[in-house]
Amino acid sequence: MGIFPLLMLAGSPHVSHSKLLHYRMNPNTPIQPDDHEVRTCRIGPMSESEYALQTQEVQQAVQQVAAGEAHENEVEILAQSVSASIHAVQDEVLACARRFLLNGGLPLEQVSRSLDRLHEGNGQESLERTAQHVESVRRATIHKILFGLNLAMEETLINHARHGNRDPRRMIGVRYWIDEEGKMHVVSWDEGQGFDPTDVPDPRSDEALEKVNGRGRLLSARFTDVFEDGAEGPSGKFGTSVHMAVQLSGLDARPEEPGDPAGPSMLDTYVRKAVQNLAAETPTNA
């Protein structure tokens, strides 16, 4: 294997020191990161040299935040200044989840059986299908499974920047892992002063119905299995961290409606939506 690949691995948060020793003693072993290991990444903080290269608009917004004089417009400008880093973190977490699903978390045979149930439910006979077709459905299904996680991450990380840190010279921390039951966990925190979730207006109230924002947390909780506020930020105050989790594997044994084991599984629901999307994208001959 040589020393250079080992040096590259030593700088990776995805491979433990015990694995480095294993790879050194067994040089023909394929290198595979462990999806169950906890991985960390961060957004920011913006350094002084980076700050000096920002537009005048961003610099002025930072100064107003520091002076406690910022309005919503300035805070939004600063949140957008870290949006590229936020999307990079989303891509990293989603890539880990997608790899897990493709490497056994969502076997092709589960998708094929779900397609059989879908045809039977529509009064059709099970059709012979190619491996290419099943793989296409699996990839579309994975996109559906990860939709809620992606939505919740974007909403949460933007909130850390907009309402928690406000100042891009503060850091947002993220760690993520997949547990032994196939559930993806993401914990994020900011360096702000926290908030009381009970003070957040209910977006379903009559007063909030005409507002264009304020529904992100409600949607995030709707599309995840776990969505909890915590106090993991450096200040130790409640409302500086969020723990979210989404079940990735075992969806074929999970009823869509709790308490109705005879009904469709969560996987059946995802597969049905994936098939509908694929059919809508397939051009028809005139």
Percent of the chain with pLDDT over 90: 67
pTM across the whole model: 0.82
**φ, ψ (nearest 5 deg) of residue 39:** -115, 150
For residue 36, the tally of other CB atoms under 10 A from its CB is 11
Cite the beta strand spans of 124-232 per DSSP E: 172-178, 183-189, 226-230
Residue 285 banded pLDDT, cuts 50, 70, 90: low
The two three-digit tokens of residue 27, written as one number: 């040089």
Domain 38-50+82-281 maps to which CATH number in 3.40.50.20, 3.40.50.720, 3.90.1300.10, 3.30.565.10?
Answer: 3.30.565.10
pLDDT at 27: 55
Strand order in the sheet with 39-43: 39-43, 172-178, 183-189, 241-247, 226-230
- Residue intervals in the chain for CATH 3.30.565.10: 38-50+82-281
216-254 pLDDT per residue, tens: 888 999 999 999 999 999 999 999 999 999 999 999 999
Vertex 180 angle, CA 178 and 186, to 5°: 25
